[in-house]
Amino acid sequence: MLSIRPFRALWIALSLSSLGDWLSILALAVLAPGLTNGGGVAKSSAVGGVFVVTLLPALLLGPIAGALADRLDRRKTMIVGDVIRGLLFVSIPLFPNLTWIYVAKFAAGIASQFWNPAAAATMPNLVPREKLERANQLSLVTTYGTAPLAAGLFSILALVGSGLSMVLPVFRHTSNVNLALYFNAASYFVSALTVYFLRQISTRRERGEISVPSTAKAIWEGWRFIRRTPAISGLVVGMLGAFSAAGVVIGLGYSYVSQTLHGGSAGWGLIFAAIFVGMALGMAFGTRLFGGLSRRRLFGVTLTAAAIPLALIGLVPNLIMVTVFVVFLGVMSGIAYPLGFTIVGLEVDDDTRGRVFAFFQSTIQVILLAVIAAVPFLSAGFTKAIASTTGSGDVKIGNIVYASAGQNVVILLAALVVAFVGISSYRRMDDREGVPLAEDLLAALRGEEPPPVPDEDDAQVAAKSHGLFIAFEGGEGTGKTTQARLVSIWLREQGYDVVATHEPGATKIGMRLRALLLDTAHAGMSPRAEVLMYAADRAEHVASVIEPALNRGAVVITDRYIDSSLAYQGEGRGLRADGIARLNRWAANGRVPDLTVLLDMPPEEGLGRRARSGDRLESEPAEFHRRVRAGFLALAKAEPSRYLVIDATRSVEEITEEIKDRVRDILPDPIPSTAEAATGAFPAITDPPLPR
Ligand code: TMP
């Protein structure tokens, strides 16, 4: 990518200005608390303030700055933005007071809000279309990848600054972060120069209405959609929980490093670098290592696991140990963060995805801001409470001293929140219920296929409803349609809620599938396609007709069901029956009839009864239909208790009587007790007892 010269120039500008952005956050987080005269709370709030003014411009301007930037000359926007930011950062060491830091940082943030979209919009002018995605990835990597670099640089500059102030009298009264601020300003100026020489950036202005929803509207619209989708709501709970924890880490970071860990500015840079190193490791290796694990599970697991290093950070106040824990924390977020976005990308429709992303971005910013601003007060409150009971805000356990222990309390609380949302989002999103997590993890680590999800237990499904499910099966012209109708009428006369239905084609979708399946024009259709279409029809049928009816306690009588697929496609077409059975168990959500009435007769006789010309399956040769018959009989033989096999050559009345006899034995109480309880009314059934 970098061999494209104009892109390389833009990329350099982007790297420099991202480096400057990160460096400024680090430097100001150190400078700000030094400028207050207050105690611990004032100092932590001063740091919090830096983050608030960093995030605020995005929140206030984010939605419209992009649209506004589209109307301006991009090259000028970028140059002016860089120069303004450079000047602002030079001014900070010259006027070192807290208010000016906030004003300058805020103003620089506003400039960034214009700079960033201008740079992003420039990309398509500099690289060929097919490389655009790579280019965007690369600039994303640069935006975040410069953070650890900035952290390392900051630590070095801070040490050099301290050294200089000791050696040279000129630097005696300057803060050791000034050097970082000057460097930061310089990076913006160089970036401005780079853009100045980048002639390819279009100066074309795009006209058009600016209409961008406000942050509040983005949140509301996204939320309305998300609430309806359990998996996505699980994801949201997780992401927001994770970001509140991130807010705690950012908001407390500096004061924890300086007060409890005695790390100073260099230590702060170290911790900052550690989190990004961890994130990079997580992004690079996490999904590779656990590639076989379900994405949704991995998200919940990493989130929950992140609670462990977070809790340890609060429990072990030692700079080296904390750095290690922070790397682990970074690894977890490095896995979970892109996973979350991938899940939204893959599982949310095109037309709602924008809204969901907007929701994420807006809420994440609001949460980060709120938590960062609140956390110093929260931890100070806890420290005070501890001081009022024990006499000192510091807690000593054994050899370990927890200075201003309120901070540790807040970190532990954050760990608790992360564990809680991690588990809750795992539960909501789990797409492999029934497979123990340990098995999945082991398989993923060994690089094996994940173990299959067991089918829902048939007994479990049946227990869920109290209706009665009867299927009529048989070859062509066996009279099953007539019998199914007669039995339905009889049951209705007894006061039963009866749903008479059939396959294929009992639903809207089913009707279209039926037309496809039975059209003689489709002779020679691939047998597997045929199986899948019948199964699709069945899935729709079960979900929209059969299950709702059974759940309300109705008697469902279907003309054909899974056995038809096993007999026609299995025996008839010669496909393996176990595959068809498995597929159909899944399609039908494990629904098995309580009784299957099989009307059996030699196929020649049945086909002879048909007056009209045959459909695609009826037109199969006699040998096909003989195999189908054998298939049905074999199924009945394998499970005699669930089948009633009837000699269909007899008279219609005789057959109906035989079926009634068998159905009577399994009929439920005509009015299920739950229905009575639900309505509180007596059933309006006055019919005499069932005739024998
Ligand atoms: P019908 O004549 O009972 O309406 O049935 C339509 C045709 O579909 C019939 O020839 C049997 C066939 N069929 C299968 O091959 N597999 C199936 O799963 C089902 C339900 C029907």
Q: Which of 473, 596, 617 to mutate to test the pocket of ligand 1 (most atoms within 8 A of CB)?
A: 617
Q: Is 571 in the pocket of ligand 1 (CB under 6 A)?
A: no
108 CB-side CA count, 13 A: 31
**Is it the case that residue 566 has pLDDT exceeding 90?**
yes
Residue 488 — pLDDT band, cuts 50, 70, 90?
very high
- What integer pLDDT is reported at residue 156 of this predicted model? 84
Q: Which of 560, 565, 625, 628 to mutate to test the pocket of ligand 1 (most atoms within 8 A of CB)?
A: 560
**Is it the case that residue 189 has pLDDT exceeding 90?**
yes
Are the C-beta atoms of residues 220 and 359 closer than 8 Å to each other? no
Closest CA to 238 of 325, 339, 327, 314: 339
pLDDT, tens digit, for every residue of 153-173? 888 888 887 777 777 766 555
For the chain, list the domains and their CATH numbers.
Answer: 1-212 (1.20.1250.20), 230-452 (1.20.1250.20), 463-679 (3.40.50.300)
- What integer pLDDT is reported at residue 681 of this predicted model? 38
Task: Quote the tokens at residue 557.
Answer: 């009588």
Distance between CA atoms of residues 548 and 361, nearest Å: 39
Report the interhelical angle of 406-429 vs 230-255 (nearest 10°): 160
Q: Is 534 in the pocket of ligand 1 (CB under 6 A)?
A: yes
Task: Quote the tokens at residue 92.
Answer: 């900070």
- What integer pLDDT is reported at residue 202 of this predicted model? 59
Q: Region 506-531: what's the mean pLDDT?
A: 89
Say how many residues make up the chain. Answer: 692
Residue 673 — pLDDT band, cuts 50, 70, 90?
very low
Between 280 and 221, residue with greater pLDDT? 280
Q: Is 617 in the pocket of ligand 1 (CB under 6 A)?
A: yes
Q: Is 473 in the pocket of ligand 1 (CB under 6 A)?
A: no
Residue 208 — pLDDT band, cuts 50, 70, 90?
very low
pLDDT, tens digit, for every residue of 549-564? 998 889 999 999 999 9
Closest ligand 1 atom to residue 503 Cα is 20
**Spacing of C-alpha 33 from chain mean position:** 39
Q: Is 472 in the pocket of ligand 1 (CB under 6 A)?
A: no
Q: Region 422-433: what's the mean pLDDT?
A: 89
Task: Quote the tokens at residue 472.
Answer: 């009529």
Between 481 and 243, residue with greater pLDDT? 481
pLDDT, tens digit, for every residue of 317-364? 999 999 999 999 999 988 888 788 777 767 766 556 666 766 776 677
Q: Is 538 in the pocket of ligand 1 (CB under 6 A)?
A: no
Closest CA to 324 of 332, 313, 314, 311: 313
Are the C-beta atoms of residues 115 and 81 closer than 8 Å to each other? yes
Whether the ω angle into residue 691 lies within 30 degrees of 0, i.e. cis, is no
Residue 613 — pLDDT band, cuts 50, 70, 90?
low
Q: Is 560 in the pocket of ligand 1 (CB under 6 A)?
A: yes
Closest CA to 669 of 497, 527, 518: 497
Q: Is 568 in the pocket of ligand 1 (CB under 6 A)?
A: yes
Residue nearest to atom 9 of ligand 1 (CA): 617
**Is it the case that residue 313 has pLDDT exceeding 90?**
yes
Distance between CA atoms of residues 415 and 487, nearest Å: 62
Q: Is 618 in the pocket of ligand 1 (CB under 6 A)?
A: yes
pLDDT, tens digit, for every residue of 106-115? 999 899 888 8
User: Residue 328 — left, alpha, or beta (φ > 0 → left; ψ -120 to 50 → alpha)?
Assistant: alpha
User: What pTM did the predictor assign?
Assistant: 0.56
- What integer pLDDT is reported at residue 386 of this predicted model? 93
Report the interhelical angle of 5-34 vs 40-71 (nearest 10°): 150
Find the Cα–Cα–Cα–Cα dihedral 615, 618, 620, 626, rounded to 10°: 170
**Spacing of C-alpha 163 from chain mean position:** 49
Least confident of 23-32, 63-72, 118-127: 63-72
Distance between CA atoms of residues 501 and 547, nearest Å: 12
- What integer pLDDT is reported at residue 157 of this predicted model? 83
Closest CA to 256 of 197, 322, 328: 322
Q: What percent of the chain has pLDDT over 70?
A: 86
Distance between CA atoms of residues 187 and 109, nearest Å: 16
- What integer pLDDT is reported at residue 124 of this predicted model? 72
- What integer pLDDT is reported at residue 207 of this predicted model? 46
